Amino acid sequence: MKRPNFRKIASIVSIFFAATVIAVSAQTFTTLAAFHGTNGQSPNTALVQGLDGNLYGTTGTGGTAGYGTFYKITPAGKLTTIYSFCSLANCDDGAGPNHLLLAADGNFYGVTGAGGANCKDLASTGCGTFFKITSGGTLTTLYNFCSQASCADGWDPSTLVQGGDGNFYGTTGFGGIGSPDGFGIVFKVTVGGVLTVLHDFCSDIVGGNCADGNLAESLMLASNGNFYGIADEGGSNDCGEVFEITPTGTLITFHSFTVSQGCSNSSGLTQASDGNFYGTTNEGGAHGKGLVYKLTLSGTFTPLYAFCALANCADGNNPTAGVVQGTDGNFYGTTHGENRGAQSTDGTVFQLTPTGTLTTLHTFDSSDGAWPQAPMMQATNGNFYGTTSIGAAGDGTIFSVSMGLAPFVAANPNFGAAGRVVNILGNNLTGTTSVTFNGTPATFAVISSTLIKAQVPTGATTGTITVTTPGATLSGNTWFQVLP
């Protein structure tokens, strides 16, 4: 069994497309903090806003034992290491965390790519764990992968999402089908740590190819209640695919990439307000340096922007993370850059309109970080936050980008039936006088300046949450879906 690579970067080939590049000066870029090994190294997950208004994330390496950390950073830039992985003997608490989310119960949940009770030799094996951790740093290992014979339950988990039923869903890169070196699985795991294999990849072989995909590294919950993910390999063209899977495990191939569209694509998808999916490829496109694409609900693939359209790739090249849609309707993301000697590039931050007009917001130059590889996120103060995998000290940075966008509120979860209590995250919420779900008044309690707990009102319909405070009227960043 081989050791997982904590810094996986997909190699992707995609298609021809041309678009327009413009420049603006309205944004403000700020380097907030730097990692230096002992407090973490190579941040590898998107930042997550906690109930307290602070941002939380993980590093893939570094920390006390060198196998990653869980950290907190305030919007002003105060960085605190909360937990160092591999703190227990034999790394029984996991090693190499590579995904993190805030669950409906207010705790953080994630997976590690290695370590756990079933892996005693990190040099030759990598099983991984599913864990819960509080904002104060109390970690509970809920499941150890490779617990079943021949790692039928998978190993090297790389993604995690909470479903509408409260359970967690994810993928592993390896294991399954009774083989330690299998092709990965899709799994469901309860809060109590009971795991169910929903699908074994490469269980459908056509013409020597894994028609159902293999090496899946991303998963997201769509508005229809199903999950969508990307398999790096397999598909009808043996070039990777986007797959759709129901909470009960029925998997279909949603889109198979062709060589011209992009192979080995693992950046992950985001579903935008128009209902379509958006993602990036690391290579390919008109200039061979990656692109941003749109994928409709009917499976139509459209390239939006091909990177390296300018001399010396001034518009960026080789994105390794997906994009996020901001409250202004535009998409925001980063390009990774590449090491090519005297012409090395360190990456960029960009804005892209839904029609494909790209604006380079910032160009990294190593002194302020380089090679971002995790997606950015927009916090409820309106600003965007992201990380670079290396920095001036060589170990990565955390940065913010202000586009002058207004504060908003975000529901966690952003779906629920009448009567369910949901968390509403925001800023300056003290003194709130009204909370409505698409115009229907809700019963609520202000817990702190950054948190409201509200009950989905009877008669509410899917739409925008609106919070009225003494200083502003705040709208939700996405529609809240009222479930039956």
pLDDT of residue 265: 66
Please say if the pLDDT value at position 424 is more than 70: yes
Q: Is residue 15 part of a domain?
A: no
pLDDT of residue 281: 85
- Report pLDDT digits (tens) over 101-122: 999 999 999 999 999 998 866 6
86 and 155 in a single domain? The answer is yes
pLDDT of residue 227: 96
416 and 280 in a single domain? The answer is no
pLDDT of residue 9: 29
Q: Is residue 13 part of a domain?
A: no
Confidence class for position 17, pLDDT limits 50, 70, 90? very low
Last residue of a domain, one of 357, 373, 402: 402
pLDDT of residue 143: 97
287 and 230 in a single domain? The answer is yes
**CATH number of the domain within which 434 lies:** 2.60.40.10
Find the angle CA(381)-CA(382)-CA(384) to the nearest 5 degrees: 110
Last residue of a domain, one of 383, 402, 421: 402
**CATH number of the domain within which 32 lies:** 2.130.10.10
Q: Evaluate whether 308 touches 287 at the Cβ level (below 8 Å).
A: yes
| CA 152 remoteness from chain centre | 26
Confidence class for position 316, pLDDT limits 50, 70, 90? very high
Q: Is residue 446 part of a domain?
A: yes
Please say if the pLDDT value at position 237 is more than 90: no
pLDDT of residue 11: 29
Q: Is residue 3 part of a domain?
A: no
330 and 213 in a single domain? The answer is yes
Which residue(s) pair with 48 in the sheet? 56
Q: Is residue 75 part of a domain?
A: yes
Please say if the pLDDT value at position 1 is more than 80: no
Gap between the Cα atoms of 177 and 153, Å rounded: 9
Place of tokens 């380097």: 31
338 and 470 in a single domain? The answer is no
pLDDT of residue 120: 64
- Report pLDDT digits (tens) over 381-392: 999 999 999 987
pLDDT of residue 427: 97
**When comparing pLDDT for 433 and 256, which is higher?**
433
pLDDT of residue 125: 56
47 and 94 in a single domain? The answer is yes
pLDDT of residue 327: 97
**When comparing pLDDT for 285 and 367, which is higher?**
367
357 and 423 in a single domain? The answer is no
**When comparing pLDDT for 127 and 4, which is higher?**
127
347 and 438 in a single domain? The answer is no
349 and 471 in a single domain? The answer is no
Last residue of a domain, one of 402, 424, 444: 402
- Report pLDDT digits (tens) over 120-152: 666 455 699 999 999 999 999 999 999 998 899
Q: Is residue 4 part of a domain?
A: no
Confidence class for position 5, pLDDT limits 50, 70, 90? very low
Q: Is residue 8 part of a domain?
A: no
State the average pLDDT over residues 371-399.
Answer: 94
172 and 61 in a single domain? The answer is yes
364 and 466 in a single domain? The answer is no
pLDDT of residue 448: 98
Please tell me the total count of domains within the chain. 2
Q: Mean pLDDT score of the chain, rounded to an integer?
A: 89
**When comparing pLDDT for 10 and 256, which is higher?**
256
State the average pLDDT over residues 445-469.
Answer: 97
The three-state secondary structure class of 245 is strand
Please say if the pLDDT value at position 177 is more than 90: no
Residues 6+ apart with CB under 8 A from 340: none
CA proximity to 101, closest of 9, 168, 193, 39? 168
429 and 339 in a single domain? The answer is no
Q: Evaluate whether 279 touches 254 at the Cβ level (below 8 Å).
A: no
> What's the burial of 192, exposed, middle or buried (CB within 10 Å: 0-12/13-18/19+)?
exposed
Please say if the pLDDT value at position 20 is more than 70: no
For the chain, what is the total number of helices (H) and then of strands (E)? Answer: 0, 42
**463: which DSSP letter?**
B
Gap between the Cα atoms of 420 and 453, Å rounded: 10
Q: Is 271 left (phi over 0), alpha (psi -120 to 50) or beta?
A: beta
pLDDT of residue 179: 62
CA proximity to 40, closest of 56, 21, 22? 56
Please say if the pLDDT value at position 255 is more than 70: yes
**Do the strands 377-378 and 41-43 form a parallel or antiparallel pair, or are they unpaired?**
unpaired
Confidence class for position 240, pLDDT limits 50, 70, 90? confident
Please say if the pLDDT value at position 283 is more than 90: no
Gap between the Cα atoms of 354 and 274, Å rounded: 10
pLDDT over 90 percentage in the chain = 74
**Max avg pLDDT among 232-241, 364-373, 423-432:** 423-432
Q: Is residue 432 part of a domain?
A: yes
pLDDT of residue 463: 95
Please say if the pLDDT value at position 232 is more than 70: yes
Residue type for position 97: P
Q: State which residues form the domain around 93.
A: 21-402
The three-state secondary structure class of 65 is coil
pLDDT of residue 184: 92
